[in-house]
Structures are given as C-alpha cells and as structure tokens.
Amino acid sequence: MAASLEEVRAHDNDRFLTLLFVPPAKRPALTALYAFNIEIARIPEAVTEPMMGHIRLQWWRETIEGLPGGETRGHPAAEALHEAGGIPFGKLQTLIDARERDLSDEAFPDIGALEDYAGQTSSALMAIAGEILAGEAEVHDAVAEIHHAGIAYAFTGILRALPVHASQGRLLLSADILGRHNVDPHDVLAGRMTDGLRAAMAELANAARDHLAAARSRSFNAALLPALLPVSLCDRYLDLMTRPDFDPFRHPVEVPAFRRQLRLLGRSLVRRI
C-alpha cells in the first residue's frame, strides 16, 4: 500500500491531498483505486504503438478478474486493490474499457464526444470512489452531480496537460472547437501558441465552468464529498489558464500545495465542492 500511496502523491497530487479528508478505514481503498487509475491512464505514454497499449489493458482486465481469488500477479497496484477490500472490481473493468480510446489517433469530433469520454473516465472514477465511501445508493442519488463534476475536472485536466499531450503527438481538444477558432493542429503539436488556440482553450474552460456550476447546483450526501473534492480546485486552474497572457507551452499551471490544501479544507468544512 505504501508504494501506491507514493504513486498517488507523485502523479495525482490533487487526489492525494483529498485523502486527508477520507475516513481512515476507507483510505486504503481510495488509495488503491487512484493508483490503479494512474496505471491505466499512463499506458499511452508508456508504449510506442497502440497494439502494445491494448495488450497492457487486456493484462489489467485479466488481473482484475483474478483479484477476488487473490491473484495479483505481483503488481503493487493490484496487490493494493486486493488488500484494501471494499472495491467493486467489476466496475474497474469499465474504466479499462474507456481507456481504449486513449490509444486512438482519431480526434474527438465534437465536444459531445469529449464529454462522453470524460464521463466514462473521470466521472466514472468519482462514482466508484463515491461508492466506496457511501455506497451505491448514495451514488445513484447524486449521479448528475458526479457526472458534471467529473467532466469539469477532466476538461480542466485536458487543458492543463495540453503541452504534455502535444509533446507526445496527442491532441484532446475536439475538432469542432479547433475548427471554430481556425486552430491548426500542427501548430499545437509543435508547441506554438496562437490567438486561435487561446480562444479554443477559453471555450473549453467555459464548458468546464458550466459543468462545475451544474455540479454545485444541488447538495448531496456529505459522505461522498472526498470523492468529488478534487473538482473544487478547478476554479484556480481555469483562472490561470484563461489569463490574456497565458501560454501553455511557457507557463506551468501550478498552484502551491498549501493553497490547494487550504481550498480543500475550506470546501470540506462547508461540505461543498
């Protein structure tokens, strides 16, 4: 479990900070879940061709199938999942299936397709975390809020990761947004900031804010809060990335850990995201 906790701290620090607000008994399960998500999310950057990525995802499918019987194949993240208990293993398969899309070179045709992808990855992850924390019934009652929160966090993450994705030859901004602002994908992949790209980023940021507002429009069981807390950090990230002088290829989108901790603490105290 210590190895998984370190993975989350290093590669998903926002969620690592939210673990402080998780009941101790539930913390191992969420740590294991987040470490597993890191493993499958970074497969595209770890392989040189899509087929190898599909093979790795299939390895994870088979590993998850064997977890109820204690078959971890010696992988630290799989061992953490087995040891933690209380994780709906079957629903992890849906996360794996959604990650097949990461291995495709095809652009998302429109923002609706991008929302579907975000819902199947980010929102689904929040729903599984919520089920671990509060049970399936509470997740069902808050399904709309979780859906919107996950999309808001995913859209913010896509904007934050734009230069990293570009360096890998990947572009997650949808084709309709790029077309509306006359963005040449080759400019983005080459790391060139343009007025069109700035406008395209602003459009996706506005969509993220709309989903964030929808997620905040209704209350939900406070036990679910730690699963959704990462989305409370979106405001600051979006503000940074929509400044008139912002260049994603020159300006890192970083918020000091202590400021994020204060934000999370404040949201936790008022039981709002």
Q: pLDDT by residue (tens digit) across 41-66? A: 999 988 889 999 999 999 999 999 99
Domain boundary among 48, 69, 104: 104
Are 98 and 117 a contacting pair, CB within 8 Å? yes
Whether residues 119 and 80 fall in one domain: no
pLDDT at position 105 is: 84
Residues 198 and 81 in one domain: no
Query: Could you tell me the residue range of the domain that residue 251 belongs to?
Result: 106-273
Q: What is the reported pLDDT for 86?
A: 86
Domain boundary among 83, 104, 125: 104
pTM here is: 0.95
Residue listed under structure tokens 């404040």: 266
Q: In this structure, what token pair is assigned to residue 146?
A: 């979780």
Residues 229 and 147 in one domain: yes
Residue 250: which of 199, 192, 173 has the closest Cα? 192
State the total domains in the chain.
Answer: 2
99 and 152 part of one domain: no
**Percent of the chain scoring above 70 in pLDDT:** 100
- The CA angle 229-232-233, to the nearest 5 degrees, is 110
Helix-helix angle 195-215:234-241, to 10 degrees: 160
Last residue of a domain, one of 104, 135, 154: 104
One domain, residues 98 and 112: no
Q: Are 81 and 137 in the same domain?
A: no
Report the alpha-carbon distance of residue 196 to residue 45 in Å, rounded: 27
CA distance 96 to 98: 5
Q: Over the stretch 180-218, which tens digit does the pLDDT of each residue have?
A: 999 999 999 999 999 999 999 999 999 999 999 999 998
Q: Are residues 123 and 203 in the same domain?
A: yes
